[in-house]
Structure 1
Amino acid sequence: MPAGRRSAGVSAPRTCRAGRGADGPPGSSVGIQEIATATGLSKATVSRALRGLPTVAGATIDEVRRVADELGYVPSSAAAGLATGRQRAVGVVLPVIDRWFYAKALGGVDAELRAAGYDLVLYNLGGPGGDRHRAFRRAMLRQRVDALVLLSLVLDETERRELQVSELPTIVIGGPAHDLRNVGVDDRAVAALVVRHLTDLGHRHVAYVGGQDEAGMNVAVPYQRRDGFTEAMTRAGHPVRTGWYADGRFSFAGGVAAGTALLDVRPVERPTAVVCASDEMALGVVVAAQRLGLVVPADVSVTGVDGHEYGEVLGLTTVAQDPGAQGRVAARAVVAEAQGAPPTVVPVSPARLVVRRTTAPPTR
């Protein structure tokens, strides 16, 4: 039972007085006392939960923040910044903004930061031609933020050195990056899950669609998933043909192009299944197959990775992960560290095989 809790349940939110809350900023109608009354927790526990401190159980933090949102609690980040000397802001650096995974992870980071009373400062690098200098030098050396969350970025030597000088709490979502903490799935294990599913169905001739993303900035995840696929196929006794690796550029259009190249051949040269390193590419391969007059999965099975909502609608077999949850975990970790807590070890995020309509035993 969390410290300070008086009851197992949460009482229904009550109507609070207008004006300034007991512990909120001017204009806020709700303070910490109202949240404590609604949850049955002490004011001290509510305060620690709102700040995401590691001394409070995760379930309690989630409960307190949910009730705070329902009651309309607005923390005073300006007042807190004056008192602590912190900016109460976290910088999020991402390669591009128009990818499903990045958008979902960013949403999770934002939700957690808002609940903790922190601002989000977004640095969209915009692809290879973007201004990385703006993100890594201005944000860190000018101390505009208290911590950094990096999305699937591999840093060069200068950027790593600037991170060390800044001493900002930093965490990476999606793919390991040097010695930085990472939130994400085990990408090699993810690929092995898919291979095991297909070989159990009887597939022996399996192709792979992966490659670098269009921005050319996300290195770790594509390589990890490709190597995991290759290793799993080799362990199963079915080495992959050299020509059955295609570059789908981690996009829907790239998946269409890669699928066309792999499947627009004589049946005897065609793989019976295609493993894709993302759902967006997998959906593109499905479209390519249909354009060629092939039936999925009767003529070719297709799998993806991620858990994209479009994949659910179209019946795509995939390994699902939750980038929104990864974003929340990452934000909670760096906020706690920015507030003085020691760095914590972040566990590997869960991933699960979701079997749907795009996989079946091979017919040849």
Structure 2
Amino acid sequence: MVSLDEVAHAAGVSAATASRALSGRGHVSAAARQRVTEAAEQLGYVVSSAASTLASGRSRSIGVMIPDLHRWFFNSVLTGISDTLTRAGYDLTLYNVTRDVQLRREIFRAFLHRRRVDGVIVVALELDDWETSQLQELGLPVIVLGGALHDLPSMAINDQAVTQLATDHLLSLGHHGIGYIGGDQAFDVDYHVPSRRRQGFISALRSHGIAADESLVQSADFTIAGGYAAAKQLYGAPGNHMTGLVAASDEMAIGALLAARDMGVRVPQQMSVIGIDGHELGILFQLTTVDQQPVSQGRTAAEHMLRRVESDDKVTIELPYSLVVRGSTAFAAPDALEDTV
């Protein structure tokens, strides 16, 4: 097994310089760093994580707490975090924090306190006071992505604003009879995303002097199947005057597009559909969406975590989002306007 001394000798530097070059800590000239890196690659030297931890007092691993490994959004965020940490030479330790109370407490009571991480990124979880105190007692940097917890640094999109933007887009196209598919109560636990997005929908309508029609509102589970079932209920409602539909997630919006196809509702000629997320499947369905850039969210969280590990900087950020107009929305037809006025 190749030693650090052998790498240093091959690069023509001291062992201390070689260590700084490979760890990325401390001042090393660019030329010396390149010689050390090339020597390490040629000799097949791999930095010992145990030795690095002993020398630096750090594990070079970041813990990520996430509520669901099967959802597209969380996987996208995780991709952004993982890519950023890997490029910086950090490992990722994943904690799948489910609603199983016993398992959840074990993660906070024991797993985190093994101190195998240098910081923790909390993704879309609303923690109780005990869980928050457990994080604070670690004495490690913590960043909350997707909400705010007490005094912990956080970053999130404005869920009310993104839905208001989606609804405003349909209103700007002349749609007045606008339906809405939101998340049901089971999904309102963490940071109340469904209720905030619904409030954005209602606020946009009110700003145009329109009262929300409860007969045009359905709840679903943020899946394609759920959106499909909810949209069928809306499309088939007696006396339906709906010409536009806002879905609180792209997956539910895609379900609404599939329901429209099966029920003979033409999109966008008869029905304009918009979602929220920026799902990778959106372009295949020509879905207009408000892109919340989940991979970029993960990268941003990881970048700020690395800065906090190095310098203990604090952060509170509202994350960006953008309207992406595709073929699923269009101006309301004149006859539709007459029906909805």
Is the partner of 1:281 in helix, strand or coil? helix
TM-score by length of 1: 0.76
Higher mean displacement: 303-312 or 235-244: 235-244
How do residues 165-180 of structure 1 correspond to structure 2 at under 5 angstroms?
165-180=137-152
Change in 2 beyond 3 A, CA 1:326/1:238: same
Q: Supply the distance in 1 between the matched residues of 2:158 and 2:45 (Cα, whole angstroms).
A: 37
Provide the residue aligned with 2:196 in structure 1.
224
Provide the residue aligned with 2:263 in structure 1.
292
Change in 2 beyond 3 A, CA 1:141/1:92: same
Percent identity (aligned): 39
Q: Supply the distance in 2 between the matched residues of 1:186 and 1:275 (Cα, whole angstroms).
A: 17
Q: Does 1:196 align with 2:168?
A: yes
Shift of 1:327: 1.0
Provide the residue aligned with 1:353 in structure 2.
323
Is the partner of 1:234 in helix, strand or coil? helix
How do residues 91-110 of structure 1 correspond to structure 2 at under 5 angstroms?
91-110=63-82
Shift of 1:142: 2.5
The unaligned stretches of length 5 or more in structure 2 are 12-17, 34-40, 337-341
Aligned equivalent of 2:126, options 141, 144, 154 = 154
Provide the residue aligned with 2:15 in structure 1.
none
Q: Does 1:327 align with 2:312?
A: no
Q: Does 1:308 align with 2:279?
A: yes
TM-score by length of 2: 0.81
**Residue pair 1:105, 1:324 contacting (<8 A) in 2 also:** yes
Provide the residue aligned with 2:218 in structure 1.
246
Q: Supply the distance in 1 between the matched residues of 2:241 and 2:95 (Cα, whole angstroms).
A: 43
How do residues 29-40 of structure 1 correspond to structure 2 at under 5 angstroms?
none
Q: Which amino acid aligns with 1:277?
A: A
Is the partner of 2:143 in helix, strand or coil? strand
Provide the residue aligned with 2:245 in structure 1.
274
Say what the alpha-carbon RMSD is for the aligned residues.
Answer: 3.3
Q: Which is helix-richer, 1 or 2?
A: 2
Q: Does 1:187 align with 2:172?
A: no
Provide the residue aligned with 1:51 in structure 2.
none
Runs of 4+ in 1 over 6 A off after TM superposition: 30-34, 45-48, 213-216
Change in 2 beyond 3 A, CA 1:44/1:167: farther
Shift of 1:215: 6.5
Q: CA-to-partner distance for each residue in 1:123-173, whole Å, 9 max, x for gaps?
A: 113455782123322233222322111111111122112122223211122
The unaligned stretches of length 5 or more in structure 1 are 1-18, 25-29, 37-41, 49-68
Shift of 1:299: 1.8
Provide the residue aligned with 2:313 in structure 1.
343
Q: Could you say which structure has the larger radius of gyration?
A: 2
Shift of 1:75: 5.7
Is the partner of 1:190 in helix, strand or coil? helix
Aligned length: 313
Q: Does 1:43 align with 2:28?
A: yes
Q: CA-to-partner distance for each residue in 1:210-250, whole Å, 9 max, x for gaps?
A: 11486665343222222112111111211211233221211
Q: Supply the distance in 2 between the matched residues of 1:101 and 1:356 (Cα, whole angstroms).
A: 21
Provide the residue aligned with 1:52 in structure 2.
none
Provide the residue aligned with 2:339 in structure 1.
none
**Residue pair 2:188, 2:194 contacting (<8 A) in 1 also:** no
**Residue pair 2:188, 2:195 contacting (<8 A) in 1 also:** no
